[in-house]
């Protein structure tokens, strides 16, 4: 894909994700899309648009964060070249299990083809996340 097409796709994906527009999220994701979280994340690798849309659109968010409290997703910077987009973002929320404030920086690398996102690689400080969420660090 060309740079402008990739940028438009990823911007449309984020808008849909933050407004809860599941149909558009699904339209942005290739049916065989792969989400690769960090190896130390509490979430494992996922494959398929339906599974990823369900996880990012509700399941992971609702299980992890207290959605009755303010939740913020801020795109800090997006760099796009050809079929690849790199998005630096900040997520602020309240951890559901502990009530702790959560303020973490993420970097997502997206690969796009045929007008859809085909691969999503996530980078995040999982040690900070584990501490704020009360996850067992010895597991």
- Per-residue pLDDT tens for 33-85? 999 999 888 889 999 999 999 998 777 888 889 988 999 999 999 999 999 99
Residue 57 belongs to some domain of the structure? yes
Instruction: State residue 51's pLDDT score.
Output: 95
Residue 138 belongs to some domain of the structure? no
Residue 139 belongs to some domain of the structure? no
Domain range for residue 66? 3-133
Rounded to an integer, the average pLDDT of 10-17 is 95
Token pair for 46: 């996922």
Instruction: State residue 67's pLDDT score.
Output: 86
Token pair for 13: 């994906």
How confident is residue 139, by pLDDT bands cut at 50, 70 and 90? low
Longest dimension (CA), the chain: 44
**Number of domains forming the structure of the chain:** 1
Instruction: Order across the sheet with 46-47: list the strands.
Output: 46-47, 29-36, 116-124, 101-113, 84-94, 72-81
How confident is residue 87, by pLDDT bands cut at 50, 70 and 90? very high
Question: Residue 61 burial (CB < 10 Å; 0-12/13-18/19+)?
Answer: middle
pLDDT of 116 above 80: yes
Render pLDDT for 67-78 as a digit per residue (tens, 0 to 9).
889 999 999 999
Domain of residue 103, CATH code: 3.10.450.50
Name the helix (H) or strand (E) containing 53. helix 49-54
Rounded to an integer, the average pLDDT of 108-134 is 96
């Amino acid at each position: 894909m060309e740079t402008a097409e990739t940028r438009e796709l990823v911007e449309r994906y984020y808008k849909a994700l933050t407004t809860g527009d599941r149909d558009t999220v699904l339209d942005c994701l290739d049916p065989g899309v792969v989400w690769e979280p960090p190896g130390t994340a509490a979430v494992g690798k996922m494959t398929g648009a339906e599974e990823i849309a369900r996880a990012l659109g509700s399941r992971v968010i609702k299980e992890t964060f207290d959605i009755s409290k303010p939740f913020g997703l801020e795109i800090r910077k997006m760099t796009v070249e050809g079929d690849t987009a790199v998005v630096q973002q900040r997520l602020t929320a309240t951890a559901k299990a502990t009530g702790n404030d959560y303020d973490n920086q993420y970097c997502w690398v997206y690969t796009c083809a045929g007008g859809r996102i085909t691969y999503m690689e996530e980078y995040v400080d999982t040690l900070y996340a584990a501490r704020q969420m009360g996850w067992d660090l010895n597991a």
